[in-house]
Structure 1
Amino acid sequence: MDFTFKEEQQQFADALRRWIDKDYGFEARRKIIHSDAGVSDAAWSQLVELGMTALPVPEAQGGFDGSAVDMMVVMQELGRGLVVEPYFATMLGAQFLKLAGGQEALLEQVASGSLKLACALGEQQSRYDLADVATMASPSHTITGTKTVVVHGGQAGAFIVSARTRGAQREREGIALYVVQRDAAGVTVTDYRTLDGQRAATVRFDGAQATPLRGGWDVLEAAADYGNTLLCAEAIGAMDAIFAATLEYLKTRKQFGVPIGQFQALQHRMADMFIHLEQARSMAMLAAVKVSSDDAEERRRVASAAKVRVGQAAKFVGQQAVQLHGGMGVTDELPAAHHFKRLTMIGLTLGDVDHHLERFAHEPGFTAGQ
């Protein structure tokens, strides 16, 4: 499979990498995550200036109408650079708006960088089942309920919220989508830092007024698959970085008077890491190509297969990197430790390996005779 990006895509990636190397290095990032805000307004402004927020937005709303493959280029660099700004949450929210349609004004704000979004989908009891929704929506479009682990919920100006209008708690029928403004009456946000340095929030809605979006479960599922595609791309960037750091360490760390990279056993482990990484890269690219497919069954299969393979690779590559670095592999001072934490959190976002393996197995055609 050809992983060569187009010239303009590579230029986009190069511009983003230059900014990260110059202004968003490891020490700069540590200062940001330990600040009260946990994010940087200056960094967000730079992402806007580079055109990152406009990339997936339709041209009619001031964007570049970028594809999922274009977004893969960006997410890889953000993963490599451990960027903690609310980019993923906002772009996932923008995908909801695009799929629902009729939200041109909000998309224009996203493209300009003036609006950050967060997707309030999960609940305390739901784990990875996005259909397990207890939050209720009234006929007058008021929302009551609590959403948990809302990625960058504390930094958002508006929320994409799943709520139930009818049906039992785990039924897909009756799920509707809404936009709720952060400053709406009845919205309470509790912000906190996660183990990978990102931010998340518990968001409580007490009769908060909402704007309904078109579409229900179908839009929710399609947007979640798109989100998983972005996460897979970010994981590839993080694994690229952790692999390169481990290889460099093996070349410089000496034992018995020679670099430990000369030991054949460690060379074999690096080869295994490389194989896992390249297989994951193949699946991430396939997901980026297929996530916009008109065939919903194909989209679901590929998105879940990618999340499974990337999740397996992330665990293997991360664990091997920590072991090959020795005790320092888990220290806060080493970027590899932070990459491993981020890879772990990616694996737990929008469904882990077991969840997507089960989802893949339940898709038509998996069992012989279907």
Structure 2
Amino acid sequence: MVALALPAFAPADGPPAAPLNRARAEALASKTEVFKEQRREHPRASLSATKKAGGVWEISLFSYGSQQKQLALAKVNSAGKVTEVWSGFQVAWTMARGYPGAFGRSINSPWIWVGLCVLFLLPFFDWRNPFRWLHFDLLALVGFSASLAFFNAANLGISVPISSALLAWLVGRLLFVGLRKSSRPPPLRLMVPARWLLVIGLFLVGFRVGLNILDGNVIDVGYAGVIGADKLSHGRQLYGAFPFDNGSGDTYGPLLYLLYVPFEWIWPWHGTWDDLPAAHAVAGVFDLLCAGLLFMIGRKLRDVTVGIVLAYSWLAFPFSIYTTNSGSNDAIPAAFILAAIWLHRQPLARGALSAAAGLTKFAP
């Protein structure tokens, strides 16, 4: 007699999961509340599936008709789990989905962000007289952090109203200050010596340059500047011929692309959306140029102390670093506007610089 020893198997909890194919991925996406809601509103909508790297399926829901519109998008990973579901403008605008680090990477760290807010507020906040208009203005500027927090959480329904209310406050305050009839503004009151601001400001220069180099990214607008500079350098068609991964990048004026040319000569574009050092350099140079112009404006309008305060405010304000660390081009028109203010007594220069600021953002 021969005895056979068979291994013991633990009973399975259920039948093995079916492999994640197109049909199963579409079925999983269709069970989400977003897809169900869109199906109720658009009963003739159709599904489309695309398999991405790592076995991830992207399931799209399109409206019926000749002018199809993408109504919803879901991502199903290889384990059969729906990891993302989007509808509305968040389908097309990936930047509104709250992906970590999409804008500025580590600048969004609470430790860095809150620290910068403290550095921005404390030198100007007089605790003996807390209800000054200046304090409310400073808190309004820092208050945009709340809007950003909801934006990073992909909750634009709260983010946008917060930023709109704060912008309305700032516009009202600017109109009030600019249109009121008053004598010389009150003297500047600092809670710390100006030399402290100078030292901290120099540290912040090194900090933002280092952060931009080591942990900055480049969003689509910075990428567009590099592409345009490459086209100008090689005499290629500028408008209507941008690559697929930034097809709408040709929306700026030619001056903006021209400003990127010297940097693109030093760090050429390799045809892909890689680290783009030219875009990092442009963002960093014009960011520091803004700080320098603010110093010169303050010194010209009053004295060196005011110049230090204005430059420090730019360097400590977290949103200016946020822009630079995202490789954006927003510091370029800001620099032209500040240069126009600095040369406000020279009409020709003032007008030319103001026009240049507009030409960097608007295409012909």
- Where on the TM-score scale, by shorter chain, does this alignment land: which range? under 0.3
TM superposition score normalised by structure 2: 0.25
Q: Which has the higher helix share?
A: 2
